Amino acid sequence: MRPVRPRSRAAMLRAAALPLAVGCLALAVPAASADSGHAVKRQTLAGLTPRWATGSADRGALSAGKQLTVRVYLAGRDAAGLARYATQVSDPSSPAYGKYLTPKQTRERFGADAHQISEITSWLHGAGLQVADRNQNYLTVTGRASAVERAFSTKLHNYARSGHTYHAPLSTPSVPASLDGAVLTVTGLDNAPHKARHDETLPPPDAVFRNAGPFSTYFGSKTNKKLPSAFGSKAPYAVKGYTGKQLRAAYGAGKETGKGVTVAITDAYASPTIAADASQYAKRNGDKKFRKGQLTQVLPTDYNSTEECGASGWYGEETLDVEAVHAVAPDADIVYAGAASCYDDDLLDSLSKVVDGRLADIVSNSWGDLESNETTASAAAYDQVFQRGAVEGIGFYFSSGDNGDNVASSGTKQVDMPTNSAWVTAVGGTSLAVGKGDKYQWETGWGTQNAPLSADGDSWTGFPGAYTSGAGGGTSKLVEQPFYQRGVVPGKLAKANGKQAMRTVPDIAAVADPNTGFLVGQTQTFPDGSLQYGEYRIGGTSLAAPVVAGVQALAQQAQHGVPIGFANPAIYDRYGTSAYHDVTDSPLGKGKGLAVVRTDYVNSYDDSDGTRTTLRVLGKDASLKAVPGYDDVTGVGTPAGGYLKSFRRR
């Protein structure tokens, strides 16, 4: 199982992963029983042998008596029917468009029935395993390694990986064909990396971070003429941080406030000061006061892996997401669904809570991981949750990542997951200029180069500077192109990895650049150990996702409260219209570069150790380019005034 990380503060990290034969099981094929060697008809679970489990890394069989815990995810009555109806109910051209089901109807039509659960339980018991926990989505199973091997007709071996030893299946696992496809997938057959499961106490908030001035109050409002020029002119200071009023103006918000709509946010853990922080931030920055019960939390009974996952770092993620949604959609209800850890199974539990209880219409998620780290098992489980959400009218929005094409961070050009899923809305990022009077000026694709001020103050060292971060995007190597991208995504992008057209991300975008970012307020740990509220500018696609989720809350209200559901077909249906700002890297014309000046505290919180001044060049996202039309930095573009108007007409 893989840890997932939040994306925050300029460019935080990533989450969990999966190959998308969309979690489909292979056809039933004969397989030898691990016990008897007799041919028994089995159904293989393709993709559950990890890439690192190679012959050269093999260190021998896992001890037969080793106690293991695995999850057996349930496929339900009609997995293919679920995917088919999720498409139909989300496609504006389908007669079934918008005909959503209730959670009860979803369970009755597509969920696992009592007979399937009984058959699976009998099979597991027969292999010598115990069912420790169960719900409508999976069974948690425990037992000796020998029993796990017997159940899944494989052998478990130890393998060397990155200085550690982990176990994994020696051959492709399978289940009895007599179960008739009732098993969707299994997680836990490999244990890389190790996940602690003991009781832990949540740590205090992260160390304080503050931005140093000078600042612009709106884009371009303050310039230091004594600093060196860039692109033939003086670059302005970065904004202190945009607030809700500026973001609502930039993305075409009118009379809508999100009233009657609920937005869920999923992250790991839970900030102990979120209610007080969000309330104080709203009061200080002109946002509407939270009404009683407007912000609620759905939390696990306990947490685990807090050190491995950097729990306190997730506090800032939750704070950003809550405050950004409220800033854009001030009357929307917000439900925070915190996961017990940053691992897939726990994050899946949080997503499932939202779907099983129909807790929200829109779900914002600011976490992910590299596609190369994805496992087939988790991919299948994630997609099933997204499909169940789609048939209930719930849409999922995921940040696209903060490392551009990921070459600098991983050595390989690739996208992130679950952003790569065909069943989520991938949200890319921009640099945003909001001018005087809250007027939208322009956007570029988010991609930053950093050039420090020279020691003599006469030049920007190494101008235009080294690449630091940018919006994630590109072409999946695992997920085929979904129907809604056909005819919109250029062939050179869709077929970037070969002859087959594949899923390309992102789908839509919003502000993400931390140099043109959002002002956030959070309780932090100061050098003297005290906890104090403070405000700072923040960015990353962690910002873009909740901003788009907030805009979608406005759009749902505009169409008389009817849920938008899985939004991608409707998003692409509006491509090329006044619904979007068509973002490019050269909004002022070819060859006219853009940059801002930043001054930062050396120690991140005050000037006792001095400050540093840098030039941040905009619109330079590794190998990714924001160009006219669809692109792999901003997708179809960012919401414009025509976006909400298109929903009002429906």
- Tokens 């019960």 map to which residue? 293
How many angstroms separate the Cα of 517 from the Cα of each of 141, 341, 363, 624? 45, 28, 22, 20
Tell me if residue 556 falls in helix, strand or coil.
helix
* Beta-bridge mates of residue 631: 635
- Tokens 């509407």 map to which residue? 288
Within 438-559, strands assigned E span 440-445, 447-452, 466-470, 474-480, 502-505, 508-511, 518-525, 531-538
Per-residue model confidence as pLDDT tens digits over 412-434: 999 999 999 999 999 999 999 99
In a domain, 96, yes or no: no
User: Rounded to whole angstroms, how far apart are CA atoms 319 and 315?
Assistant: 6
- Residues 443, 583: contact at Cβ < 8 Å? yes
Q: Tally the domains of the chain.
A: 1
Instruction: Using pLDDT thresholds of 50, 70 and 90, give the confidence band for residue 649.
Output: confident
- Residues 539, 240: contact at Cβ < 8 Å? no
Within 164-307, strands assigned E span 164-169, 174-176, 183-187, 262-268, 295-298
Q: What is the CA radius of gyration of the chain?
A: 25
Please tell me the predicted confidence (pLDDT) of residue 545: 98
In a domain, 194, yes or no: no
Please tell me the predicted confidence (pLDDT) of residue 9: 42
pTM of the full structure: 0.93
Per-residue model confidence as pLDDT tens digits over 49-59: 988 899 999 99
Per-residue model confidence as pLDDT tens digits over 545-568: 999 999 999 999 999 999 999 999
In a domain, 139, yes or no: no
In percent, how much of the chain has pLDDT > 70? 93
Q: Which domain holds residue 562?
A: 244-648
Task: Look at 162 and 572; give whichever has higher pLDDT.
Answer: 572
User: Rounded to whole angstroms, how far apart are CA atoms 613 and 615?
Assistant: 7
Residues near 406 by beta carbon (within 8 Å), at least 6 away in sequence: 370, 412, 413, 414, 415, 416, 472, 474
User: Rounded to whole angstroms, how far apart are CA atoms 608 and 100?
Assistant: 58
Please tell me the predicted confidence (pLDDT) of residue 12: 34
In a domain, 154, yes or no: no
Per-residue model confidence as pLDDT tens digits over 226-238: 999 999 999 999 9
303: domain CATH number is 3.40.50.200
Nearest 5°: phi and psi at 216?
Answer: -90, 145
Q: What does the DSSP 8-state code read for residue 236?
A: B
Measured at the CA of 18, the angle between CA 310 and CA 502, to 5 degrees, comes to 125
- Tokens 């190369």 map to which residue? 372
Is residue 266 pLDDT above 60, yes or no?
yes
Give mean pLDDT, residues 33-42.
57
Instruction: Using pLDDT thresholds of 50, 70 and 90, give the confidence band for residue 318.
Output: very high
In percent, how much of the chain has pLDDT > 90? 88
In a domain, 65, yes or no: no
* Beta-bridge mates of residue 511: 430
Average pLDDT of the residues of the chain:
92
User: Rounded to whole angstroms, how far apart are CA atoms 297 and 319?
Assistant: 13
In a domain, 615, yes or no: yes
Instruction: Using pLDDT thresholds of 50, 70 and 90, give the confidence band for residue 200.
Output: low
In a domain, 160, yes or no: no
Per-residue model confidence as pLDDT tens digits over 126-154: 999 999 999 999 999 999 999 999 999 99
In a domain, 561, yes or no: yes
Per-residue model confidence as pLDDT tens digits over 463-478: 999 999 999 999 999 9
Tell me if residue 590 falls in helix, strand or coil.
coil
Tell me if residue 428 falls in helix, strand or coil.
strand
Residue/partner pairs of 194-199 with CB below 8 Å, 24 or more apart: 194/166, 195/1, 195/3, 195/304, 195/305, 195/308, 195/341, 195/343, 196/304, 196/305, 196/307, 196/308, 197/304, 197/305, 198/304, 199/302, 199/304
Give mean pLDDT, residues 326-330.
98
Count, residues in the chain: 650
